[in-house]
Structure 1
């Protein structure tokens, strides 16, 4: 596999303070592999690669990485819950997973946003190839304003290769995409590729100025209702990383981790040692801020 320029990021909350770039071969566990507890098949490492980036390694597989990749320096695992929805539940069964209080809150949020826009939600779907130009025209300017794009370089891509990939997915009926509008202006988008009838939570973004109206939550609720109605999909995979949105909507979770496996050079040892020390300092500071009740406020300030 071809190595990819990958940043080992020193993160303070969502803000990147420092980054060390390495050429790494990406390896990832899909949801089916995680649920079946299948080991990862190592890819050959090209001579110009610095190592591997292993994503979503299930906790049960972490100890095996040392055996599968002998001689590599292993970073401390970045552990998180990988959330997913079992689509076999159906919409009624899915909604029954929520408490009555949460169901009422979700319905109230949808009603509140509808009331703010004349009484109805303006949500448009863009699943077909001939709808993609309109989707990107509306979603890309919005994506560029989100904190995911500004701080994490994780906004919706707009380059030609990504758009060609989106068109190929749409032609195979393997793409689901929506935009939520208010007063004719896009305020949230959701982009979901489909792989083996598993929906991949690839990109969600929303206008932060409209955050009090919960546009991301409202769009997610609408999309799920339509997806359940199709009765086609096996899982809705929220992929790597934890978060309140994923935890709220997921029905199941698996403990996973991202791990860097680097060649044993002095420079790589220095990077991983510094990364380990930095993360320990951030965790200690975060625990202290949590104790004094200031963590949420500081996180909001960091996001800008």
Structure 2
């Protein structure tokens, strides 16, 4: 299967900070949540000039995946739990899975945000015109988030990304939400729709309001609305670990991401360097956890 190869950075990161990025022109083989849950292996793409990256594949199918590309170099592997919400029940059922203390904390966050900002509102955006309004408010906000500043992972602001969102909105495959307080948007949530699955694509919030947890408040408000629609079966938090995902998810699946590169000298050197770097970071993390300074390191990286 032909797939468009793109210039993709092979990142060297510590926490949320990218220290180095080495670009490679590669294709992408990405797995949707429904494919993961079915342990399905769709038709593989043709590799790009440098190879391909595999995103969020079922961990138990990696042997079959790498077998499709004999001779390619595997590296940069990340194993994690892919968290998701089973939306088969009601929002009340969903809330019941939290402890009483957690439910009280979530209510308190919403109440505190309302009290300290003079009240807040949440707007929904799904039509092309509504998505245009969403982007007008969310893009300037996204530029201020740590995801955009440190990882280039803010809300995408390219012509291609905007066109993709508009096309999804025209087909009824786009949901987005904004949380407004004090006369401006202070948090956004972007959720493309794939089949019966809402995809957690982008969440961001004004760093000046971080102590009021606007992202959490918006997440809960959006979930209540989406549960009430009874249209979706899954809410997919996609690849990567995170306390936010673990807290809100009801289930998880073992997934892995990696790159498969052509066996050139440059690619061998790149993957060897990335492997050594990741090993060093893991050792440093273990030492930091044992010494109790990991939280301070994380705070420093996001400063």
Is TM-score (shorter-chain normalized) higher than 0.5?
yes
Aligned partners of 1:215 and 1:103: how far apart in 2?
Answer: 16
Matches within 5 A, 1:284-299: 284-299=283-298
Q: After superposition, what is the alpha-carbon deviation per residue over 1:57-115, rounded to whole angstroms, capped at 9, x for unaligned?
A: 11111222332221110015211111110010221111111111111111111111111
Matches within 5 A, 1:86-235: 86-118=86-118, 120-235=119-234
Aligned partners of 1:92 and 1:31: how far apart in 2?
Answer: 24
Q: After superposition, what is the alpha-carbon deviation per residue over 1:153-178, rounded to whole angstroms, capped at 9, x for unaligned?
A: 11111222222222222222221111
Aligned partners of 2:53 and 2:66: how far apart in 1?
Answer: 14
Q: After superposition, what is the alpha-carbon deviation per residue over 1:184-211, rounded to whole angstroms, capped at 9, x for unaligned?
A: 1211000111111210101110011211
Residue 14 of structure 2 corresponds to: 12
Cα drift, residue 256 of structure 1: 0.8
Q: After superposition, what is the alpha-carbon deviation per residue over 1:122-162, rounded to whole angstroms, capped at 9, x for unaligned?
A: 11122222222221111111000001101111111122222
- Contact 2:120 2:182 (8 Å CA) reproduced: no
Aligned partners of 1:167 and 1:42: how far apart in 2?
Answer: 28
Residue 279 of structure 1 corresponds to: 278
- Any gaps of 5 or more consecutive residues in structure 1? none
RMSD (Å), alpha carbons:
1.2
Matches within 5 A, 1:235-254: 235-254=234-253
Are 1:59 and 2:59 counterparts? yes
- Contact 2:76 2:274 (8 Å CA) reproduced: no
Aligned partners of 2:164 and 2:270: how far apart in 1?
Answer: 34
Aligned partners of 2:108 and 2:232: how far apart in 1?
Answer: 27
Aligned partners of 1:25 and 1:54: how far apart in 2?
Answer: 9
Change (3 A) 1:69 1:227: same
Change (3 A) 1:250 1:163: same
- Any gaps of 5 or more consecutive residues in structure 2? none
Residue 3 of structure 1 corresponds to: 5
- Contact 2:122 2:179 (8 Å CA) reproduced: yes
Q: Which moved more, 1:131-140 or 1:273-282?
A: 131-140
Aligned partners of 2:213 and 2:227: how far apart in 1?
Answer: 22
Residue 303 of structure 1 corresponds to: 302
Q: After superposition, what is the alpha-carbon deviation per residue over 1:253-285, rounded to whole angstroms, capped at 9, x for unaligned?
A: 011111100001111111011000000101111
Residue 32 of structure 1 corresponds to: 34
Aligned partners of 2:57 and 2:88: how far apart in 1?
Answer: 25
Q: Which consecutive segments of 4 or more residues in structure 1 shift more than 3 A?
A: none
Aligned partners of 1:125 and 1:76: how far apart in 2?
Answer: 38
TM-score relative to the length of structure 1: 0.96
SS at match of 2:41: coil
Q: Which moved more, 1:161-170 or 1:107-116?
A: 161-170
Matches within 5 A, 1:62-73: 62-73=62-73
Aligned partners of 1:167 and 1:112: how far apart in 2?
Answer: 35
